């Protein structure tokens, strides 16, 4: 998992729950590097999961909800840090259709070793269908990111989510 995700997670925890909460969950999660993450590093996915579980235990908020919230938050942050990702794109569906071919290509330039999810996207009438597939299998994060994208483009979205037989997740998005 990219270090950027960890540092952004810390920013969210500090902003929403305070610096002490961050200290506490770092301690609870028993991390190998004592929670010293740099955005340009690469870390074990499990460490993030342990952090989220620690946060869930302390805040009594369910893990999927936390992850979704984090996804929504991180989208806004990423657009601030990498404004190029949305350059010349004014339509949400166009942006979402180009996740694999535009956004992930840019990510690979910075982090050649990043393992990124795959989206098979298509449009049926007014519905955008995105099938999410990832080794990390974090559909909640994906959903949060889609919500974040909707907010970024100031659109109200209806998102229907369904688990497919092969373990991938299908999102049907209408606006």
Q: Is 35 in the site for another protein (CB under 8 A)?
A: yes
Which tokens in the block code for residue 106?
A: 């840019």
The C-alpha atoms of residue 1 and residue 125 are separated, in whole angstroms, by: 35
By CB under 8 A, name the one of 20, 125, 126, 165 that touches another protein.
20
Minimum distance between the CB of residue 133 and another protein, rounded to whole angstroms? 29
Minimum distance between the CB of residue 109 and another protein, rounded to whole angstroms? 13
Half-sphere exposure of 129 (CA within 13 A, CB side): 10
DSSP 159: E
Minimum distance between the CB of residue 24 and another protein, rounded to whole angstroms? 10
The C-alpha atoms of residue 156 and residue 172 are separated, in whole angstroms, by: 14
By CB under 8 A, name the one of 15, 36, 57, 62 that touches another protein.
36
Nearer to another protein, 77 or 151 (CB): 77
Q: Is 114 in the site for another protein (CB under 8 A)?
A: no
Minimum distance between the CB of residue 144 and another protein, rounded to whole angstroms? 25
| CA end-to-end span of the chain | 31
Nearer to another protein, 6 or 171 (CB): 6
- Nearest CA to 150 out of 71, 64, 55 is that of 71
DSSP 84: G
Site string for another protein, 146-165 (x = CB under 8 A): --------------------
């Amino acid at each position: 998992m990219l270090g950027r995700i960890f540092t952004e997670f810390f920013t969210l925890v500090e902003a929403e729950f305070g610096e002490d909460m961050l200290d506490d969950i770092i301690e609870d999660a028993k991390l190998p590097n004592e929670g010293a993450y740099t955005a340009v590093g690469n870390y074990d996915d499990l460490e993030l999961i342990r952090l989220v579980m620690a946060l869930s235990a302390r805040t009594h908020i369910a893990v999927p909800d936390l992850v979704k919230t984090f996804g929504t938050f991180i989208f806004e942050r990423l657009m601030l840090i990498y404004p190029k990702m949305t350059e010349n794109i004014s339509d949400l569906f166009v942006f979402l259709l180009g996740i694999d071919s535009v956004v992930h290509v840019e990510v690979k330039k910075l982090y050649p070793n990043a393992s990124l999810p795959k989206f098979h996207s298509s449009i049926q009438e007014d519905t955008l269908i995105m099938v999410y597939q990832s080794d990390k299998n974090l559909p909640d994060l994906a959903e949060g990111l889609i919500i974040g994208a909707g907010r970024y483009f100031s659109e109200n979205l209806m998102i229907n989510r369904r688990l497919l037989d092969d373990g991938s997740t299908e999102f049907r998005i209408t606006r």
